[in-house]
Copies of this chain bind each other. A is one copy, B any other.
Amino acid sequence: MKASELADALGLPLVGDPGREIATLAPLERAGPDELSFVVGARLRAAMCASRAGVLIVPEALAADCPVDHLISPAPYASYAQASWLLTPELRPAPGIHASAHIDPTATLGKDVSVGAFTSVGAGARVGDGVILGDGCRIAAGVEIGAGTRLFDNVCLSYRVTLGEHCRVQSGAVIGGEGFGYAPTAEGWSAIHQTGGVRIENRVHIGVNTTIDAGAIDATVIEDGVIIDNLIQVGHNVFIGQNTAIAACAAIGGSARIGRNCLIGGATAINGHIEIADGVTVTGTSFVSRSIDTPGSYGSAVPLQAAREWRRTFAALSRLDELLKRVRRLEKATSKLES
């Protein structure tokens, strides 16, 4: 790709040789003369000045000092994200239904749909234009998939799941499993039939082996632009607001309500039935034990110590209550001594 083509595609001004050929992306410190990289801010000025990249995407403020050809962007990282799809285009299977796939005759498929080997599509399912279903996917009866969505391999969409447009679902993810709702009885647990399904809006990304359960009566809902990493559990009737990002291995309890534009760190657990306001950040490995009604950063992760030190801290911790009492006694004794 020529530098000028890249500039046009990204809509950015190019300073340098328009005919320079750019083959691929590379990290800033390693990028060579046919590679593209980027600089987000002043912190990387020195690395930029030492760079031998073919083209750098830089912010206005650093452009004057940039020693190599560059594109000036108000958001270099976002421009770089765009460039990553231009320079290393996605491998997409050609439209068509693999001979081994099983499509129920009552399912409707849009234009230019690709269905992989051993994928099954159930009765009445509706698959939009340009959808890609990988190999071994299970699309239950009645499921709806919006235009431009891609499922990788062995993805399961169960009964009453709707997926919007331009979503991306990684391999092994299961959407619409039965929510974990049981009434205790004298004879043991009695399951409540979970019939609410899952409604996923547009441009939602769902990670590998992530599980999103069907709601009990109402649907589990994931709004536009949410990104969800791998091995995440989303319980029944959870609501996740627009553009919230959730890192790997988070566990979200049933009926939790997460606002818009939240950042949920990895391996975080969120209690069922709580509410998190818009714009909340939860640091990784935390336990959201209660609702959060004010935007800001929250956490409960315990930082690492050497094991020996940690054992000592914990021995002390279990004596904390007693310590409080001893300090109270000392305060009384001291005030008596003082008077």
A108 at the B interface (CB under 8 A): no
Copies in the complex: 3
Interface residues of A in 104-119 (CB under 8 A from B): 116-118
A65 at the B interface (CB under 8 A): no
Q: Is the CB of A230 within 8 A of B208?
A: no
Q: Is the CB of B189 within 8 A of A227?
A: yes
Question: What's the Cα separation between A213 and B209 when bound, in Å?
Answer: 12
Find chain B residues with CB under 8 A from A185 CB: 75, 78, 81
User: Which of A134, A153, A269 gathers most chain B CB within 10 Å?
Assistant: A153
A16 at the B interface (CB under 8 A): no
A296 at the B interface (CB under 8 A): yes
- The stretch from A1-9, A43-51, A125-133, A325-333 touching chain B is A325-333
Q: Is the CB of B316 within 8 A of A305?
A: no
A264 at the B interface (CB under 8 A): no
Q: Is the CB of A245 within 8 A of B334?
A: no
Q: Is the CB of B321 within 8 A of A331?
A: no
Find chain B residues with CB under 8 A from A88 CB: 193, 195
Q: Is the CB of B292 within 8 A of A304?
A: yes
Task: Across the interface, name the chain B residue whose C-beta is closest to A35.
Answer: B217
Find chain B residues with CB under 8 A from A286 CB: 304
Min CB–CB distance A319 → chain B (angstroms): 7
Find chain B residues with CB under 8 A from A242 CB: 188
A253 at the B interface (CB under 8 A): yes
A149 at the B interface (CB under 8 A): no
Find chain B residues with CB under 8 A from A168 CB: 178, 191
Q: Is the CB of B249 within 8 A of A233?
A: yes
Q: Is the CB of A304 within 8 A of B323?
A: no
Question: What's the Cα separation between A39 and B70 when bound, in Å?
Answer: 67
Interfacial residues, chain A to chain B (CB-CB below 8 A): 25-27, 75, 77-78, 80-82, 84-85, 88, 90-91, 98, 100, 102, 116-118, 120, 134-136, 138, 140-141, 152-154, 156, 158-159, 168, 170-172, 174, 177-178, 180, 182-185, 188-193, 195, 203, 205, 207-209, 211, 213, 217-218, 224-225, 227, 229-231, 233, 235, 242-243, 245, 247-249, 251, 253, 266-267, 269, 271-272, 281-290, 292, 296-308, 310, 312-314, 316-321, 323-324, 326-327, 330-331, 333-334, 337-338
